[in-house]
Structure 1
Amino acid sequence: MTKDRNGNFFEDFRVGMKLRHATPRTLTEGDRSLYIGLTGSRAVLATAETNARRLGLHARPLEDLLVFNTAFGKTVPDVSLNAVANLGYADVRFLAPVFPGDTLAVESDVIGLKENTSRKSGIVYVRSTARNQHGADVLTWIRWVMVHKRDAQAPCAEAVVPPLEAVVSPDRLPRHDFGAAVSNVTALTGVMDLWDDYEVGERIDHPGAMAVNDSDHSIATRLYQNTAKAHFDARAASAGGGRRLVYGGHVMSLCKALAYDGLENALTMLAINAGSHVNPTFAGDTLVCATTVIDKFDLGDNAVGGLRLRMIGAKNVDAASIVFPDARAGRPVHAPDVVLDLDYTIAIPKKSATWSNR
Structure 2
Amino acid sequence: MHSYLSPAELTAALSITDLSADDSGHALSQLPSAVSGALAASWGVPVKEHRASPLVSTRDNYDRLGFSPDDITRDSRYSRHVSPTVMLRSHTSAGMPAVLDALRGEMGRYDTLHVLPGLVYRRDAVDRTHVGTPHQLDAWRLRSRGLLGVPDLTGMLGAVVDAVLPGTRWRAVPSAHPYTTAGVQLDVQVRGEWLELAEAGLVAASVLRSASLDPRRWCGLALGMGLDRAVMLRKGIDDIRLLRSTDPRVAVQMTDLSPYRPVSAMPPVRRDLSLVCADDVDAEVLGDAARSALGADADVLAGLEVLDVTPVSELPAGARARLGLMPDRAPLGRGLPVRGSGQANVLVRLTLQSLERTLTSEEANRLRNRVYLALHDGPQLELIAV
Higher relative contact order (CA 8 A, sep 6+): 1
TM above 0.5: no
Q: Which has the larger radius of gyration?
A: 2
Q: Which of the pair is proportionally richer in helix?
A: 2
TM-score norm. by structure 2 comes to: 0.25
TM-score norm. by structure 1 comes to: 0.26
